[in-house]
Structure 1
Amino acid sequence: MTHDDIWRALDALAAEHGLSASGLARKAGLDATAFNPSKRVGADGRSRWPSTESLAKVLSATGTGMAEFAALVTGMPALSRSGRQPSARRIPLIGLAQAGGEGYFDDGGYPVGGGWDEISIPEIGDPNAYALEISGESMEPVFRDGDIVIVSPAAPLRRGDRVVVRTQMGEVMAKELKRQSARRIDLRSLNPAHPDYAFDLSEITWMHRIVWATQ
C-alpha cells in the first residue's frame, strides 16, 4: 500500500458520491483544502498520509465501511453497505482492437452505438463504465490475451494509473500514465518489449482509467 493508493481511493470515493476532493472534505466537516494536491506532499517533498481522523470522518460522512474503502485502495469496486459484493450489472464490451474504429465512442469518450456486446460485472459507481477485451501480447505480463479490463471515464487519474488512451489518429492503447503536464502526457508500455510514448494533449481524444480486470 502506498501514499498514492490511499489518495487515489479518496478521489475514487469522492467520484462515486459525485463530489470533488474538496467537496468530500467539506462533507466530512473538514477544511475544503484538506485533500488538495498541495496537502498530499510535505514541505520536504515527501508524500504525506491523510490523517486517521480525516479518514474516519470521511468514512462516517459517506456511510462507507473499512472493507469498502480497502476495496477502493486496491483499485477494485467498492463493496456494498452489507459487506457483500454488489449485484451484477451489465456494461458494454468490445475488443481493444475494435475500439479504434468509428462509431463506438462519442466525442467525450463514452460508449455509443449498437456494435457493443455486454458483460456482467459487480456494480461500480460510473454509469458510463465499459469493458475492453485484450488481444495479443503487447500488454503482457500485466494483461494477457483474453483478459477483460473495466474502464471508468469518471475515475480520477494519477501518475502510475493504468489507462486506456485514444489518439486523434484513432489509435487506442492501454498504458501506464507515467507523467502528465499541462501540455503533454508520457505513457509507459506495460510490456517492456514495447516502446514508451509521449503525446501533446492536443493529440489525445480521451484518456480513461482502468479500474478492474478479470484474469
Structure 2
Amino acid sequence: MKRLTNDRIWSSIDALAHRYGLSVSGLAKRSGLDPTAFNKSKRATGDGRPRWPTTESIAKVLDATGATLDDFATLASSDPGAARRNVPIPLIGLTKAGAGGFFDDGGYPVGDGWEQVQFPRVDDENAYALEVTGESMESLYREGDILIVSPNAPTQNDDRVVIRTTDGKVMARLLVRRTTNTIELASLNPDHPNFVFPLDRVEWIARIIWASQ
C-alpha cells in the first residue's frame, strides 16, 4: 500500500463524500461533526503545517456512511486528485433561491430542496449552482445557463456576484464598488439601471466563479 500522507487521508474523505452524493460539509454534518470540520481551511494550521483529521472524526464518518476501514484505506491509497474530478454541487433555480430555507445566514446552501449537478475541480466545499430563469440577465446569461457560486471566494470590483438582501431578494449582478457604507452593483442586462444599497441591507455576497453559457 502507498504511504498514507496527509493529502491522501483528506482525499479519502473527499472521495467518501463524493461516493455518497455529499459535499464535505454535508458529510461532516451527517457524521455529527461541525459542518466546517473538513473544509480546506481546516486542513492546515495558520503557519501552513498539515493538520490531520482525528481518528474519532474518521470513525464517525465510517459509521455515518457505512463504509469500512478497508474502503477508507483503499481510497487513501488511490490517486489524490480522483475525488475532485466530478463533484456533486447543490443546484436550484435563481428565482426560487430567494425563498426561505435554502441558505443560512452566511450564504451557505442548506435544506433538502436542492437538486444536484456534477461539476469538476471545485475548490470550495460550499459551492453551489444557480440555474438562470427568465430574461433579466440577457445578453450575458440566458435562461437555462448554470452559474457556479463560491461563498468562500473573496470578492472585488468587477467580479460577477450573487447577492442576497435583507428582504430576501437573491440576484446576480456585477460588483462595481464597495465603500464603508454602500455597495454599488451593475445589472448584467444593460437595459437595467445600477443599484446602490446601504451595506446594512446586504445579508451576504458570493462570487460567481463559472457559468455554463
TM-score with structure 1 length normalisation?
A: 0.61
1:195 aligned to which of 193, 196, 200: 193
State the Cα distance separating 1:141 from its structure 2 match: 1.2
Gaps of 5+ in 1: 1-15, 28-79
- Tell me what 1:76 maps to: none
1:107 aligned to which of 99, 102, 105: 105
**Deviations for 1:78-119, whole angstroms, at most 9, x for unmatched residues?**
xx998x9x5110010000000100000011110000000000
- Tell me what 1:177 maps to: 175
Q: Aligned partners of 1:17 and 1:166: how far apart in 2?
A: 25
The residue correspondences of 1:1-215 to structure 2 (distance < 5 A) are 18=41, 86-215=84-213
| Residue type of the alignment partner of 1:143 | Y
Gaps of 5+ in 2: 1-38, 49-78
**Deviations for 1:130-161, whole angstroms, at most 9, x for unmatched residues?**
00000111111111100000000011101000
Q: Aligned partners of 1:163 and 1:95: how far apart in 2?
A: 16
SS at match of 1:102: coil
SS at match of 2:96: coil
Q: Aligned partners of 1:160 and 1:168: how far apart in 2?
A: 23
Q: Aligned partners of 1:127 and 1:81: how far apart in 2?
A: 16
Q: Aligned partners of 1:182 and 1:88: how far apart in 2?
A: 39
Larger Cα-atom Rg = 2
Q: Aligned partners of 1:155 and 1:181: how far apart in 2?
A: 19
Q: Aligned partners of 2:140 and 2:80: how far apart in 1?
A: 31
**Deviations for 1:3-35, whole angstroms, at most 9, x for unmatched residues?**
xxxxxxxxxxxxx9649xxx8xx97xxxxxxxx
State the Cα distance separating 1:123 from its structure 2 match: 2.3
